[in-house]
Amino acid sequence: MKIMAVNAGSSSLKFQLLEMPEEKVITSGIVERIGNDNATFSIKFNGEKIEQELPVLNHKVAVELLFDALIKHNIISKLEEIEGVGHRVVQGGELFKDSSELTEENILKIESLNDLAPLHNPAHVVGIRAFKEALPNVFQIAVFDTTFHQTMPEENFLYATPYEWYTDYAVRKYGAHGTSHKFVSDRAAELLNKKDAKIIVCHLGNGASLSAVKNGKSIDTSMGLTPLEGIPMGTRSGNIDPAVFGLISEKTGKGISEILNDLNKKSGYLGVSGVSHDSRDIANEIEKGNHRAKLALDIQTKRIADYIGSYYVLLGGLDAIVFTAGIGENAANVRHDIIERVKVLGTELDPELNQLRGENEISKKGSKVKVFVIPTNEEVAIARDVLRLQK
């Protein structure tokens, strides 16, 4: 059966059509700059890529554009061939413990969580409603970034703030990248041939998070109420002393929203290096002897090592560390620096294997803790959930 995996952003619509259960990609693409006269639409199929620039006023138009392209290029002969749709949704709060069918009641619940993900959930709902209107009789579900982390115990997800902040305003750690963490940790357990494996997943991209996974369940993760908590990223600061807000406000006159913008969009690699948010640019600058670029990377890898050490204790040992996402899958230097920092745990990296691309074990034979690179595939994970819930 054909299943569509959808990721709707505030001004974008990313999609992938898969043949399931074979998990074969039929087509994929993205509509960007939705709401503008110069939006772009690209679609890949049969080894070719077609791109065009055109006005796309809203997500409904973007969905119509996608469906027209599927028919025009003979990717499918009729829309009825699509038997399921899975939508990525960032925030499920405590309302959703699993992926869920997109009934009107559940769509309203997703909207009720807008305060927890104001940049993401409203955009997801716009995309969901556009697909529901176009395919009213097709089974559609929401797959949440947060549900995989709903297995965290209270002591791991609660903050030591006034308890009513949690009961009244839902302030707690939710985590993110859950679909990726589940996909990658499940695959690592397969490679280890150990269902009760103790695994640390390092999802390292422009956004980055770690998780501690035991018996296939997340017991802790680095991102919190929002993606700002945790390790430094491309433009995010990661953890800081909250008193910084008061100091910066007093010194600069900036309000909370301005400071949050600085911490979300002007910090991390970009803030420390002053050069770029891109790890490739950082690596190039390091080769040129740029101290601040090296410092930006060192701060990040140090904080990642801190989390790995903490999760090692939490898990009561460790079977594997897994790297995934853009940086985790492609930046051998970053993997090397992190594993060097935690080698006291028994990690030994094979320099040659570390240079390989794709899925590989990159630790030396005999390493006490195995190290893997496993490419993530959130679209496949979404399609799997559609298949699972539709049965």
Q: How far apart are CA 5 and CA 19, in angstroms?
A: 11
pLDDT in tens, 87-112: 999 899 999 999 999 999 999 999 99
Q: How far apart are CA 177 and CA 383, in angstroms?
A: 16
135 near 127, Cβ under 8 Å? no
pLDDT in tens, 239-265: 999 999 999 999 999 999 999 999 999
**Statement: residue 391 has pLDDT above 80:** no
Locate CATH 3.30.420.40 in the chain.
2-144, 194-378
Q: How far apart are CA 372 and CA 322, in angstroms?
A: 5
Per-residue DSSP letter, 345: G
Residue-level length of the chain: 391
Contacts of 18 (CB under 8 A, 6+ apart): 2, 3, 4, 5, 24, 25, 26, 379, 380, 383
The predicted pLDDT at position 130 comes to 87
Q: Which CATH class is domain 194-378?
A: alpha beta
Contacts of 108 (CB under 8 A, 6+ apart): none
Active site residue 145: yes
Q: Find, among 211, 157, 154, 222, the residue nearest to 186 by Cα.
A: 211
| Binding-site residue ranges for Mg(2+) | 7, 378
Both tokens assigned to 251: 């010194």
The predicted pLDDT at position 126 comes to 87
Distances in whole angstroms, Cα of residue 229 to Cα of each of 179, 204, 225, 353, 363: 18, 14, 7, 32, 29
| Binding-site residue ranges for substrate | 88
Say what the pTM is. 0.91
**Statement: residue 184 has pLDDT above 80:** yes
Q: Which of 115, 145, 281, 385 is catalytic?
A: 145
**Statement: residue 209 has pLDDT above 80:** yes
Q: Find, among 34, 33, 52, the residue nearest to 43 by Cα.
A: 52
**Statement: residue 334 has pLDDT above 90:** yes
* 64-69 CB contacts, 8 Å cutoff, 24+ apart: 64/134, 65/31, 65/41, 66/13, 66/15, 66/29, 66/31, 66/41, 67/134, 69/29, 69/41, 69/43
The predicted pLDDT at position 8 comes to 84
Q: Which CATH class is domain 2-144?
A: alpha beta
The pLDDT mean for the chain works out to 94
Q: How far apart are CA 384 and CA 380, in angstroms?
A: 6
| Binding-site residue ranges | 7, 14, 88, 203-207, 278-280, 326-330, 378
